Amino acid sequence: MGPGHTPRRPRHPIRLAQVSLLIASLTLLALGVAITLAAPFHSGLFPLTPSSLAQARPSATATAAPTPSATPSPTRTPTPSATPSPTPSPTATPTATPTRVPALFVPLPPRSEPNCGLTMIKGQLRTADALLNGVPVHVWWEGSDGVLSLPSGEDPTKPDGYWDVVLDTYAKPGRWYVAVIDPQTGEHLSPVVTVETEAEPCEPTSGGRQVITVDFVLQAGEAGRPGPTFTPSPTPTPTLTPTPYPTPDGQSRTVRVPILMYHYISAPPPGADRYRRDLSVPPDVFRAQMEYLKAQGYQTIALRDLVYALTRGTPLPPKPIVITFDDGYRDNYENAFPVLRELGFTGTFFVLTGPIDQNNPIYMSWDQLREMRAAGMEIGVHSRDHVELRGRSYEYLVWQILGASQAVERQLGFRPEVFSYPSGLYDRRTVEVLRSAHFWAAVTTRGGITHRTEELLTLKRVRVRGAWGVAELAQALAYWENADR
Ligand SMILES: [Zn+2]
């Protein structure tokens, strides 16, 4: 999957050159290049806000009484042309060009196909005869739940030239806003397009969704005169939980860190089959393995530290190691968490939000996870229901991935950054949805310890077998040290 999600780069210099010629404006050239160069890998400019997204499961009461007074609605009233142009981006005007307004992103009338279930906002940016890839847009929504805001245009290489945002807000009544932005400043480069949506409750599995298409056309304006609808952002960007995503510096790196994979930390029950036995590490063995790692000088890091190392070159401690736990079993809290804490270690726990929400006693509770998070443990997502994520529809993946992410966010107050594929299975679409849901990294069950910047969403791990003791763990680490270079 590596080539499918390399960091965003300006991929269409020829297309851009054509555009520039077309418009015959040096100003635009500077602007266009600046936009493309700065197209964010995974912009943290407009983070998904925690509480504003609807619960993933639609309920009959999902459409609470609207509180129209809660958020003043940004108007699309055209600003008079005398409005001073927004603060110039420093990179856009390196040659003291007086103004950059000749480039206008003019929105075409939005087209809405009301359906039900999920909502998708999509669009294209184009000139009269060419697609413009790599130009980010800002999409936000305002309704009875407040305001949510999120980046888009994340993949400038989509073959059809579309950017899109999929949300499982279940088409609540509210307004959508879309504008082309300068990725450096977040400032709007186009008029803000407004689309009204209405509630249409239905089950997400029905496959229906509301698709709203918002296209912009880049046109040349009259030199030196601001476009009549070049409006600044009507609302400040909400930043309820700004997650500092490490903006990649563009360098490709290789970092070698073992990521251990555990499941149950308990003795297998009597009569357990070989699969269950293989997934179960008894508490005393787990303790001995952790003490061994400690004695060998290993230092635990979170997966997010690995992300920083791969994308920014942030230094890691000597002998870094990540200790992960899949499925979120209650014995992780009872038998692993105390050992980790005692040794000054951290662990990464991938939870299934479905069973937690159902108070299934086999799994850790939200309260326990809250306590672990407060103690420095990293909490990630393992989907909602541990279903295979290959060959699934977009809607289903959003349900399982973004839905689980929102459950964690609702319960624990932060947006999870790391994901573990159930049974290690994924396909291209799974990875796409993970990226749309703002996950930074994902782990597979492929063996290995060498990680590359381009493979953040397909990280390798070292599976710890149920029959292993300390010696086997040591052997496995030594094996991968040589086998995966
Ligand atoms: Zn699992």
Under 8 Å CB-to-CB from 68, ≥6 apart: which residues?
none
Per-residue CA distances from 297 to 225, 290, 340, 344 (Å)? 65, 11, 15, 12
pLDDT tens for 1-51 read 333 333 333 333 333 333 333 333 333 333 333 333 333 322 222 222 222
* Annotated domain spans of the chain: 2-57+101-220, 254-483
Residue 470 CA to ligand 1 center (angstroms) comes to 23
Residue 351 has pLDDT above 50, yes or no: yes
Residue 351 CA to ligand 1 center (angstroms) comes to 9
Residue 379 CA to ligand 1 center (angstroms) comes to 14
What is the distance between the terminal CA atoms of the chain, rounded to a whole angstrom? 19
Range in 69-83, 136-150, 197-211, 297-311 the model is least confident about: 69-83
pLDDT tens for 101-152 read 345 677 777 776 655 545 667 777 776 666 666 666 777 666 554 455 544 4
Which residue did the predictor score with more confidence, 474 or 228? 474
Range in 58-72, 73-87, 281-295 the model is least confident about: 58-72
Residue 467 CA to ligand 1 center (angstroms) comes to 18
Residue 101 CA to ligand 1 center (angstroms) comes to 53
Q: Which of 10-24, 70-84, 193-207 has the highest mean pLDDT?
A: 193-207
Task: Check residue 103 and give its pLDDT.
Answer: 57
Residue 46 CA to ligand 1 center (angstroms) comes to 31
Amino acid identity, position 190: S
Q: What is the CA radius of gyration of the chain?
A: 24
Which residue did the predictor score with more confidence, 314 or 40? 314
The mean pLDDT value for 271-277 works out to: 92
Task: Check residue 153 and give its pLDDT.
Answer: 39
Closest CA to 265 of 327, 321, 322: 327
Identify the band that residue 389 occupies on the pLDDT scale cut at 50, 70 and 90: very high
CB contact at 8 A, 301 and 376: no
CB contact at 8 A, 334 and 340: no
Q: Supply the pTM of this predicted model.
A: 0.55
Residue 423 CA to ligand 1 center (angstroms) comes to 5
Identify the band that residue 174 occupies on the pLDDT scale cut at 50, 70 and 90: low
Instruction: Compute the Cα dihedral for 163, 169, 170, 172 and give only its sign.
Output: negative
Residue 151 CA to ligand 1 center (angstroms) comes to 30
Residue 79 CA to ligand 1 center (angstroms) comes to 54
- Per DSSP, the three-state class of 381 is strand
Per-residue CA distances from 478 to 225, 254, 293, 471 (Å)? 67, 19, 13, 11
395/58 Cα distance (integer angstroms)? 13
355/343 Cα distance (integer angstroms)? 30
Homologous superfamily (CATH) for 254-483: Glycoside hydrolase/deacetylase (3.20.20.370)
* Residue 61 burial (C-beta neighbours within 10 Å; 0-12, 13-18, 19+): exposed
pLDDT tens for 426-481 read 999 999 889 888 899 999 999 999 999 999 999 999 999 999 999 999 999 999 99
Residue 42 CA to ligand 1 center (angstroms) comes to 27
* Residue 315 burial (C-beta neighbours within 10 Å; 0-12, 13-18, 19+): exposed
CB contact at 8 A, 469 and 288: yes
Residue 227 has pLDDT above 50, yes or no: no
Residue 60 has pLDDT above 90, yes or no: no
Neighbours of 131 (CB within 10 A): 18
Structure tokens at 134: 């790599």
Task: Check residue 141 and give its pLDDT.
Answer: 64
Round the average pLDDT of the chain to a whole number and report it. Answer: 70
Residue 301 has pLDDT above 80, yes or no: yes
Task: Check residue 101 and give its pLDDT.
Answer: 38
